[in-house]
Amino acid sequence: MLALALLAATPSFATGVDDLDDPTIDPAPCLAAAAQRDDGRAVELCGRLIAKRNTERDDRIKALIARAGALTRKQQVDRALADYDDALRLDPKQPDILNARGELWLGKGDRPKALADFSAALKLQRDHPAARANHRALATELERLGVQKAVDGKPSFDCARARRAVEKAICGDRELANLDREIAAAQLRILQAKSNAKPAELRALKRAQTDFIATRNASFGRPGYDLRAAMQARLQQLTGVAGGR
């Protein structure tokens, strides 16, 4: 009687050897917990299913995906990545898993791995909406970053032809070079936005930029002149004009 009482009191989720070899494996509780966003229970139940040696391959994949989703929501990204890795080892042709793993890599800041996963998902399913959107957004971001990197530290003019002391100072300072390029770009955007303005207004806009450069050139090196502050003020002025158009 005591033995029967102890057996009855033993939790059904014991994780001993007999439990791991239990032929009655039901994935439903694991999947139900995941569907209900009961993440703690999903991690526990799906973990037991994954730990069983005789869990069917398809059920193991489902349990890995369910647990990975729960772990992601619990901010346990590395564990979620490991589950997606295991699921893909069992079945590499899973575009949903590749996209989900790519999103985790993107969240960790690993853009190359994220792009590789989104690309692999699209190879398996060309019309996968999430992977397509993720791939397009990431490719655009990488292109933008590439352009920014290419021009970083370069002013709007050719430093090889710089003759004035102020121009050489701008070329020799990364922040000043970026400020100069941003000022030139802001001026161009304003002129393009006001292309239909009256000729007098356009002349005034161009003259303001010409006057700024002339003052910069004449004032550089004089006591009390702060080139960086002057350039920042000019950029702020241009940004205000652009914002008020």
Distances (CA, A) of 98 to 76, 192, 228: 18, 43, 48
Q: Identify the CATH number of the domain defined by range 13-149.
A: 1.25.40.10
User: Alpha-carbon distance 216 to 166, whole Å?
Assistant: 8
**Residue 236, pLDDT score:** 95
Q: pLDDT digits over 160-209, tens only? A: 999 999 999 999 999 999 999 999 999 999 998 888 889 999 999 999 99
User: Alpha-carbon distance 102 to 117, whole Å?
Assistant: 5
**Residue boundaries of the structural domains of the chain:** 13-149, 159-243
**Residue 9, pLDDT score:** 35
Low-confidence ranges of the chain (pLDDT < 50): 1-21, 23, 243-245
**Residue 145, pLDDT score:** 73
